[in-house]
Amino acid sequence: MNKTKIIATIGPSSNHPNIISKLIRSGMNVARINMAHCKDKTHLADIVLNIRNEADKLNIHVGVLMDLAGPKIRLDLHSSSKGGFEVKKDHIYQLGYSKMNDLSINIELVFKNIYNNNSYVKIDDGKINFKIIKADGKSIKIKALEDGMLQNNKGVNFPGIDIDVPCVTSKDINDIKYAAELNIDWLALSFVRTAEDINPIIKVLEEKDSTIPVIAKIEKPEAIDNLDGIINAFDGILVARGDLGVEMPLSKLPYLQKSIIEKCRYAKKPSIIATQMLESMIHESQPTRAEVTDVANAVYQGSDAVMLSGETAIGEYPVEVVEIMKDIIVNAEDDDCHFNKSEKISIEKQKDNRTAIGDAIKVISKNIKINAIVIMTESGSTSIVVSHFRPTEKLYALTPHQSVCKRLTLIWGVVPILTPKFLSTDDMIINAEKILKDKGLIKLDEVFILTSGVPVGITGSTNMLKIHRVTD
């Protein structure tokens, strides 16, 4: 079983009950819905229903991640450009919001601080590049640096250019409300720049009496400058290497990825690595050697999850790509070096019950043979903390809340199990053993560590650790 979780984007290639079922059986832990391509609330509800119905049939917990569109600047080509827009090297084009431009975009912008000698536009994650040669405020003239074919809805980046757009759009606000109504498990916010960018989302969620955790997508240089505050404010971090690699020098990406994962580990927040993980498999049945190494490196670095985008959304091999990603992950996790850095998580400045228990579990498992770690949890927070110590033992989170089970599908190594609500500590221990035995997860005479809160059923009360041997 893979401990590093797999997020797969649901799109035209995969939004069918049969395909979703195969994705789940192949190893998909979390299904991502990209709201930039979701038509309306009905379309969203249909996708969510397909995911949850197939997960229920298989009796497997699958989380749903709603990826908010945010102020993503995209091509909005003329209807006459359905086959794409051909770009010729050295030709001059006008780009702006108006349909009168050669290349129109979906957001009205006012361009400022544009320096003609060193300002560029990058389209489709930098696959086609242009140099800015003139700006009049709401449109710019750009010179193509290579030939190419542009497709509608592809991303447009203006690295180094000051563009004043809100982090949360009116569409995002409506989508957040839909997320609350549909009990979506995770939200992801695009183009986060500061810790304060989460505030509009929190406001909407509070109005809807919802507590959906929010992930910050790191795509802008400003986010790197404010990274510590963003990690502290948000519930997780997604390294969106596509836009980040366009906005910043590509050579910095490996270091940034490694650094962000380490910071998240220290803060006990989940990290996700995304973009071009196995992109060649959009059209090919096998990945490149470089892609395989890239996925394995994300595992070695300690990422909680890796994400597939176009590979499963529009690709020709959505099921096969999940199978291959799982195989890469499992083989990487079998390598002892995967756990080398788990000892380096310092708790000096993180003295709380959950962290102390996570550290204690690590120490105990070094001295006696432990077959499993069992966490009785109301909110899932202790499971997240223990996970970030990267234990080699199997990690089971038992909770009476379906929503907690689904949210924990994103967390490294955690296997969520839905249980009845227990009334006492003795009741909890007896039934935890029975549940695990019935599922074939532990055997007679095996030993597991059980941690919980006493009294039972109170969120945030983790204060007990027990070493328990399985008996008849």
Q: Which residues are catalytic?
A: 32, 74, 217, 275
Do β-strands 128-135 and 186-189 pair in parallel, antiparallel, or remain unpaired? Answer: unpaired
Count of beta carbons in the 10 Å neighbourhood of residue 340: 12
In angstroms, the CA 386 to CA 302 distance is 14
Q: Are residues 397 and 416 in contact, defined by beta-carbon separation less than 8 angstroms?
A: yes
Q: Are residues 303 and 325 in contact, defined by beta-carbon separation less than 8 angstroms?
A: no
Question: What tokens does 307 get?
Answer: 């994400």
In angstroms, the CA 195 to CA 227 distance is 8
Residues 6+ apart with CB under 8 A from 396: 372, 373, 374, 375, 414, 415, 417, 436, 441
Secondary structure of residue 58 in the 3-state scheme: helix
Q: Which phi and psi (to 5°) does residue 241 adopt?
A: -70, -20
The maximal CA–CA distance of the chain, rounded, in angstroms, is 80
Query: Read out DSSP for 278-304?
Result: SGGGGT-SS--HHHHHHHHHHHHHT-S
Q: Is 413 left (phi over 0), alpha (psi -120 to 50) or beta?
A: left
CA dihedral 400, 404, 405, 411 (to 10 degrees): -140
**Residues, the chain:** 472
Tell me the residue type at 3: K
What per-residue string of b and e applies to 76-103 under the rule 16 or more CB within 10 Å gives b? bbeeebeeebebeeeeebbbbbeeebbb
Instruction: Find tokens 């380096």 and name the residue.
Output: 344
Residues 6+ apart with CB under 8 A from 12: 313, 314
Beta strands per DSSP E along 277-423: 305-308, 372-376, 394-399, 414-418
